[in-house]
Chains A and B, each alone.
Chain A
Amino acid sequence: MTSTLSIKDLRVSVEGQLILKGLDLEVKQGEVHALMGPNGSGKSTLAYSLMGHPKYEVEGGEVWLKGQNILELTPDERARLGLFLAFQYPTVIPGVSLANFLRAAVNAIRGGEVNGNGKAQVGVPIAEFRKMLTEKMELLQMDKSFARRYLNDGFSGGEKKRAEILQMAMLEPEIAILDETDSGLDIDALRIVSEGVNALSGPHMGILVITHYQRILNYIQPDFVHVMINGRIVASGGAELAHELEAQGYDRYLKQVSEVSR
């Protein structure tokens, strides 16, 4: 059965301020959606809320995935259900190596958490894990040495983004949200990462690409494009909508919104 992430009338506030003001969106496994919108319109807020960041207060609405309202789940339960978020600003965690972290994550997702002394009880055998890690790192053309480095510690902006996609590759989510994965990537890196995403995508993965630019969409071609203004989706269309936005900006939609609210 195809999984669908289905967002209904989602309202979210941050520090007392309402940011998402009734948002509806459906992303099915196998589909590619692009979400575009001006700075501060609430795109990352949507991403964080879907993942369950404690700072984002859900004021109303529902988000369904595989028969569960995920708003009632903890972030790790959401991840284990098949949701993934590639962060716009990944967190640096000193002392936790990328490889150890990934091993814990892979085991958690596959149903066997890593126990106290760092040894996996259930989950993927270490040899298989290593093979998989090497493969995925090669796919994203990441140097092997990254595996031993502390998570995002001292990584350049682009390296962090690549490491996010590496995590996605290892965890094989059903629904992946990529929050401005393209920003900070140089031209070659953008191609490598996009091709990596394409290699991983397919009928088993639904993707929501949050971006400001057409260029990533040249690689990862969207089936649907949505425009977000002021906490709501104000327009949806096909791939052509992204081209239109690239050429004309958000003026037209901003005017519409201000007329509506007047």
Chain B
Amino acid sequence: MAQQSTIVKDPVIEAGVFTRHATLALSERLNEPEWMKEKRQVAWSIFEEMPMPTTSDEDWRRTDIRSLKWDQLQLSVDSNLSPVSKLAELPEHLRLALDEGLDASGRLALVNGQVVYHELAEGLSEQGVVFTDMASAVHEHPELVQQYFMTECVAPSEGKFPALNGALWQGGAFIYVPKGVEVKGPFQVVVALEGEGAAIFPHTLIIAERFAKVTCIEETVSSDGAGQALNNGIVEIVAGDGAQVRYAEVQRWGENVFNFNTKRAIHHPDSLVVWEMGQLGGRLTKTYIDSILRGNGSSAELNGVYFVGDKQHLDLDTLTHHIGLSTGGDLLLKGAARDSARAVFQGMIKIDPTGQQTNSYLKNENLLLSDHARSDSIPSLEIDANDVRASHGATVSRVDEEYIFYLQSRGISRNTAVRMIVEGFFSSVFDRMSEERVREKLAAAVSARIGD
């Protein structure tokens, strides 16, 4: 294919909202050590040099981001909510997102990148467990952040959005679990976006040492302003030998949020990372979820649902990269689209020559609930080893009229029948979800979206 020769102006730099000056000011404001300041500057330089993705990039072929108005955004550094010391003092929507009333090992509420609430269950610090926000971690655990922050997991050079996050990150959780420590209850994080034109760049880093076990549940919410808003996030997970990490995400952005994410786990030998997610909100989403199975015997699992309506556009991109010997992948994603929404799923299973005895599965099923909804499912395999088992499947279908008739023949109305069938469609994913609170939340959210 011929290279495009015209020089495309960078919309972000043109807009002049996000600048090198802004990144310096952030470092200043957060009183950052030199090394973090340096990381930001490097990331900014990379950002400046990279082109904005367009629909001529293979990954972005089905997702056009030109409707995002960069000049109407602002780097939100303030929250109109002052920090509180008791969960009960948080506004209701944040308390709900944090599952007030249920046991948790810790809770963290971030509004526009600022910490408004933080708690950590007793006894965990004594065991060396760290659960805090990223900015605090820079000061309190500089050696860990320096070692892991955008080093071996996600690099700024990977893309425009990761680079921008590296330069402008604020907020996000930092979790460190030392060798052999098993954190029982989940850490719960809510990331909130508030105000028109707000832009946030959360960066979460989870480090689980050898045989450590931890669960993190993150929920995203936003107050619905009329103007556009931006979330550009990164999640980095490093799973040590035999470690088990569960990371769940309940994505409930409002209808004007443009949502870009790179989420990646690096697997050491025999580690397990389970991704559980529900993608429900957002105007436009482009999220990468990558499992880098470097360590022998490591495995990745993903149980995901999505439900889009109105004019929502959701583009999910998974990579299961088998590098080590005898690694496993098992990804199941089911989604529904209604109104004139569009869902795109691109899933890649990549097996290196070193990845013998890989077992990798990828399944994506889609249900279209209206004539104008659209769904594209593009799974692919790239296999360079000969002793492997890998399979993928993708379907896009409508609610089966035979199912509806069968339920109707038992007295159930058409509307209820459709609801039951759609709920039933998702149930095989919910059945696989281990965190009951996540499952219940997602099931309720899905049910709520089927109706009306």
- Report if A133 contacts B (CB, 8 A): no
- Given contacts A95-B426, A96-B421, whether A101 and B407 have CB atoms under 8 Å apart is yes
Contact partners of A79 in chain B: CB under 8 A: 408-411
- A75 and B409 form a contact (CB under 8 A): yes
- Report if B35 contacts A (CB, 8 A): no
- Report if A85 contacts B (CB, 8 A): yes
Q: What's the nearest-Cβ distance from chain B to residue A167, in Å? A: 6
- Given contacts A74-B408, A117-B447, A118-B447, whether A95 and B423 have CB atoms under 8 Å apart is yes
Interface 9-residue window, one of B83-91, B236-244, B324-332, B412-420: B412-420
- A104 and B420 form a contact (CB under 8 A): yes
Q: What secondary structure prevails in chain A residues at the interface with B? A: mixed
- Report if B424 contacts A (CB, 8 A): yes
**Besides A87-B409, A94-B428, 20 other A-B contacts (C-beta < 8 A):** A74-B414, A76-B409, A76-B411, A76-B414, A79-B409, A93-B421, A94-B425, A95-B423, A96-B407, A101-B407, A101-B420, A104-B416, A105-B410, A105-B412, A108-B410, A108-B412, A109-B410, A113-B412, A116-B451, A171-B411
- Given contacts A53-B405, A54-B405, whether A94 and B411 have CB atoms under 8 Å apart is no
Contact partners of A149 in chain B: CB under 8 A: none
- Report if A51 contacts B (CB, 8 A): yes
Report how far A50 CA is from B405 CA in the complex, Å.
13
- Given contacts A93-B424, A96-B421, whether A113 and B416 have CB atoms under 8 Å apart is yes
A-B pairs with lowest CB-CB distance, top 9: A95-B424, A79-B411, A108-B411, A105-B410, A95-B427, A75-B408, A96-B424, A91-B406, A109-B411
Which A residues lie at the B interface, using CB under 8 A? Answer: 51-54, 74-76, 78-80, 84-85, 87, 90-91, 93-96, 100-101, 104-105, 108-109, 113-114, 116-118, 150, 167, 171
Determine the residue in chain B with the shortest Cβ distance to A104.
B412
Report how far A109 CA is from B410 CA in the complex, Å.
8
Which B residues lie at the A interface, using CB under 8 A? Answer: 401-403, 405-414, 416-417, 419-421, 423-428, 444, 447-448, 450-451
Contact partners of B407 in chain A: CB under 8 A: 93, 96, 101, 104-105
- B405 and A93 form a contact (CB under 8 A): no
Give me 9 A-to-B residue pairs in the complex whose CB atoms sit less than 8 angstroms apart, sorted by A's number.
A54-B401, A74-B414, A87-B409, A93-B403, A93-B406, A95-B421, A96-B420, A109-B410, A118-B447
For A101, A109, A167, which residue has the most chain B Cβ atoms within 10 angstroms?
A: A101
- A171 and B410 form a contact (CB under 8 A): yes
Contact partners of A150 in chain B: CB under 8 A: 424
Q: What secondary structure prevails in chain B residues at the interface with A? A: helix
Q: What's the nearest-Cβ distance from chain A to residue B222, in Å? A: 24
Determine the residue in chain A with the shortest Cβ distance to B417.
A76
Which of A76, A91, A116 has a CB less than 8 Å from the CB of B413?
Answer: A76
Q: What's the nearest-Cβ distance from chain A to residue B426, in Å? A: 7
- A116 and B425 form a contact (CB under 8 A): no
Contact partners of B414 in chain A: CB under 8 A: 74, 76
Report how far A93 CA is from B424 CA in the complex, Å.
8
Q: What's the nearest-Cβ distance from chain A to residue B144, in Å? A: 43
- B405 and A75 form a contact (CB under 8 A): yes
Contact partners of B412 in chain A: CB under 8 A: 76, 104-105, 108, 113
Contact partners of A117 in chain B: CB under 8 A: 444, 447
Report how far A117 CA is from B401 CA in the complex, Å.
23
Contact partners of A108 in chain B: CB under 8 A: 410-413, 416
For B412, B416, B426, B428, which residue has the most chain A Cβ atoms within 10 angstroms?
A: B412
- A95 and B410 form a contact (CB under 8 A): no
Report how far A84 CA is from B421 CA in the complex, Å.
21
Contact partners of A87 in chain B: CB under 8 A: 406, 409
Contact partners of A51 in chain B: CB under 8 A: 405, 409
- B406 and A90 form a contact (CB under 8 A): yes
Report how far A117 CA is from B447 CA in the complex, Å.
7
Report how far A167 CA is from B407 CA in the complex, Å.
11
Contact partners of A91 in chain B: CB under 8 A: 402-403, 405-406
- A76 and B408 form a contact (CB under 8 A): yes
Determine the residue in chain B with the shortest Cβ distance to A90.
B406
Report how far A109 CA is from B448 CA in the complex, Å.
24
Q: What's the nearest-Cβ distance from chain B to residue A128, in Å? A: 18
Report how far A114 CA is from B416 CA in the complex, Å.
8
Q: What's the nearest-Cβ distance from chain B to residue A53, in Å? A: 6
For A51, A84, A104, A150, which residue has the most chain B Cβ atoms within 10 angstroms?
A: A104
Contact partners of A114 in chain B: CB under 8 A: 416
Which of B405, B410, B447 has a CB less than 8 Å from the CB of A116?
Answer: B447
Q: What's the nearest-Cβ distance from chain A to residue B198, in Å? A: 32
- B426 and A101 form a contact (CB under 8 A): no
Q: What's the nearest-Cβ distance from chain A to residue B431, in Å? A: 9
Report how far A104 CA is from B410 CA in the complex, Å.
9
Report how far A11 CA is from B121 CA in the complex, Å.
73
Report how far A161 CA is from B416 CA in the complex, Å.
24
Q: What's the nearest-Cβ distance from chain B to residue A236, in Å? A: 27
Report how far A161 CA is from B427 CA in the complex, Å.
25
Report how far A150 CA is from B448 CA in the complex, Å.
22
Contact partners of B450 in chain A: CB under 8 A: 116
Report how far A3 CA is from B123 CA in the complex, Å.
72
Report how far A95 CA is from B407 CA in the complex, Å.
13
Report how far A47 CA is from B215 CA in the complex, Å.
54
Q: What's the nearest-Cβ distance from chain B to residue A136, in Å? A: 14
Contact partners of B444 in chain A: CB under 8 A: 117
Which of B408, B409, B417, B425 has a CB less than 8 Å from the CB of A95?
Answer: B425
Report how far A95 CA is from B419 CA in the complex, Å.
12
Report how far A76 CA is from B415 CA in the complex, Å.
11
Report how far A105 CA is from B405 CA in the complex, Å.
13
Report how far A12 CA is from B444 CA in the complex, Å.
43
Q: What's the nearest-Cβ distance from chain A to residue B448, in Å? A: 7
- B448 and A116 form a contact (CB under 8 A): yes
Q: What's the nearest-Cβ distance from chain B to residue A71, in Å? A: 15
Report how far A11 CA is from B314 CA in the complex, Å.
49
